[in-house]
Amino acid sequence: MYDAVIVGAGAAGLSAALGTLRSVEIRGLLDAGIEPKILVISKLQPLRSHTGSAEGGIAASLGNVEADDWHWHYYDTVKGGDWLVDQDAARLLAQYAPQTVINLERDGVAFSRTDDGHIAQRRFGGHTRDFGGEPVRRAAYAADRVGHQILHTLWQQCVAAGVEFAEEWYVTDLALDADRSRVAGVVAYDTHTGDVHAIHARNVLLATGGAGRLFHTTSNSWDLTGDGMALALAAGLQLEDIEFVQFHPTGLAHTGILLSEAARAEGGVLRNADGEAFMATYAPEHRDLAARDVVSRSIMTEVDAGRGVADPKDPNGPKDCVWLDMTGIDKDHMEAVLPQVVETIRKYASIDPATDWVPIKPTAHYTMGGIPIDTEGRVYRWSRDESGNTGRNVVEGLFAAGECSCVSVHGANRLGGNSLLDACLFGNRAGLSMAARIAEHPTADPAGDEIGQADDEAYTALDAAATARKDEVTALLSRDDGADGEIADDNPYQVLADLGRVMERAVAVRCSADTIATALDTLQDEFRPRTNALHAHSDMAAFNQEITAIWESRHLVALAEAVLKASDARHESRGSLTRLDYPARDDERFLAHSMSDRDGILWQPVHIVDYPPKARAY
């Protein structure tokens, strides 16, 4: 039995762990001789978490380089999200961003510096002064490795604080009580031994990251398979705004590897096959530093118009790329502030960005939607009763943070620099919320309450889930020989590759009812039977990565269905979702969050506080 189990060890999970341990409540327990039991479970060694790949910056109105105001950041976040942002949450994001960045610095993040020693800041797409005016330098950065700096710093602080980690354990089940009102714990698979464990917990926080591997071309690492979102769906919970998946404009051609927005902030220019700097046509004021969805759509429009280029490594292939021209950036400056971008281009494209144009195309980058949470990190279900009354029903003891969650600060499109901020800020807030619950009933308190019948039933259900999962592992490891004595050739890696291509054709950057319907039929007719039939090709339980890959493939198929159905239900174009058959934004019917579960979709109104919807242009 644990006081809290945190699933995921990226910026959100580690921030939550630190927020919990540093809270007034937990310090009070420690002073009273009661030590809370907190466990962080990660399917990776924490320093391999995807946070480490974040490159460009973390947004905060520090005003270190030029005048800035958190109200401007607040407005830009709302506008960037195409008014699908809950403004009470966005206000907190912007208001506490400077404090978040300063606290990261105090913990040890080595930010780049101005000449006078302050944290350096650069421009990022969609960040402006004076409520939509000129671009402003708001992104605090550490060359182009800020995620690496933040991840290592948070991990070091957790190690110093004595946080307990279960590394390379894979969570397979989220256990709730019978009416889905309270969490009971998780089931986890130890990849080192092949053992399945039932982990009882009074509080669980999901911080498992995004789902970029839904798509063939993605900037996400292999581990971002939507696990936390799929666990929530399987437990009967909802996903909010899951149809909104951001495609970053500058993925290195056909590898999908991210070339940071910082490359354009430092002077990089997008050009079509004719050498034209085309963003001047689509976003006259902000050009290459318009919001990411605007730039990605503009690239695809150029490609569709026949002004795309082929990847030089595949000159006879499709002309589905454009050029990123960085030759106007001073070479020494480029090496100093964009070392990772330069190294990536040289290593994977075999060209020198100081002298050659770089082929790029939009790459699946960030999941705006996810597990619905309030501003304290508490997971809830949105419901409507027979009388039409609606409301949020909080799941007691269940929290989420980071990309797997949706507090709706990103709405329909995330601004660059806001993801690290979201993970650290709301991860910390969720940790503080958990700390308050832990202090009420710590497991190590000898005077604590006896276990109730409802708790006992939930924990019994958790143990049953663990037993069922053990039986499944045994079945997956058994050799399913056919009549010819050979194991079926299909495997989860091929399934994931095929699924990525289907999703890319269906909803990458643009979609229609026809593309969505085709993909849904393919999921039902092909992918569900394939994933259900998968078996491991080795009968060894220890270090058998195919076991977890099978679960990941099933998670992504379930998540793909949710993305497609939510995309189909939203009859408008907003932010990252471009419906070719519904090209206009429809505030009258769809200024609302989609709340998807296995039974269908409900609609939750957006929280409008300070900025009523208006036309969005850059």
For the chain, what are the domain ranges?
A: 2-244+368-440, 252-362
Percent of the chain surpassing pLDDT 70 = 97
Mean pLDDT for 567-589 is 97
CATH number for region 252-362: 3.90.700.10
- What Å distances lie between residue 114 and 105, 143, 169, 329, 338, CA to CA? 14, 12, 42, 19, 16
Identified catalytic residue from 122, 138, 202, 292: 292
Amino acid 453: pLDDT: 58
Tokens 């800035």 correspond to: 68
Phi, psi for residue 495 in degrees, rounded to 5: -60, -45
Which among 80, 127, 211 is positioned nearest to 574, based on CA atoms? Answer: 80
CA distance from start to end of the chain: 52
The per-residue pLDDT for range 361-389, each reduced to its tens digit, is: 999 999 999 999 999 999 999 999 888 89
- Between strands 195-200 and 390-400, the pairing is unpaired
pLDDT band at 208 (very low <50, low <70, confident <90, very high): very high
- In the predicted structure, residue 391 carries a pLDDT above the cut 70: yes
- In the predicted structure, residue 446 carries a pLDDT above the cut 70: no
Concatenated DSSP letters of 189-200? EETTTTEEEEEE
pLDDT band at 485 (very low <50, low <70, confident <90, very high): very low
- In the predicted structure, residue 89 carries a pLDDT above the cut 70: yes
The per-residue pLDDT for range 303-335, each reduced to its tens digit, is: 999 999 999 999 999 999 999 999 999 999 999
Element housing 564 (H / E): helix 545-569
Q: CA dihedral defined by 529, 531, 535, 537, rounded to 10 degrees?
A: 120
- The architecture (CATH level 2) of 2-244+368-440 comes to 3-Layer(bba) Sandwich (3.50)
Rounded distance, CA 144 to CA 347, Å?
Answer: 16
pTM: 0.95
292 is annotated as an active-site residue: yes
Amino acid 363: pLDDT: 96
| 2-244+368-440 matches 252-362 in fold | no
Amino acid 484: pLDDT: 44
Rounded distance, CA 491 to CA 73, Å?
Answer: 46
- Between strands 121-128 and 135-140, the pairing is antiparallel
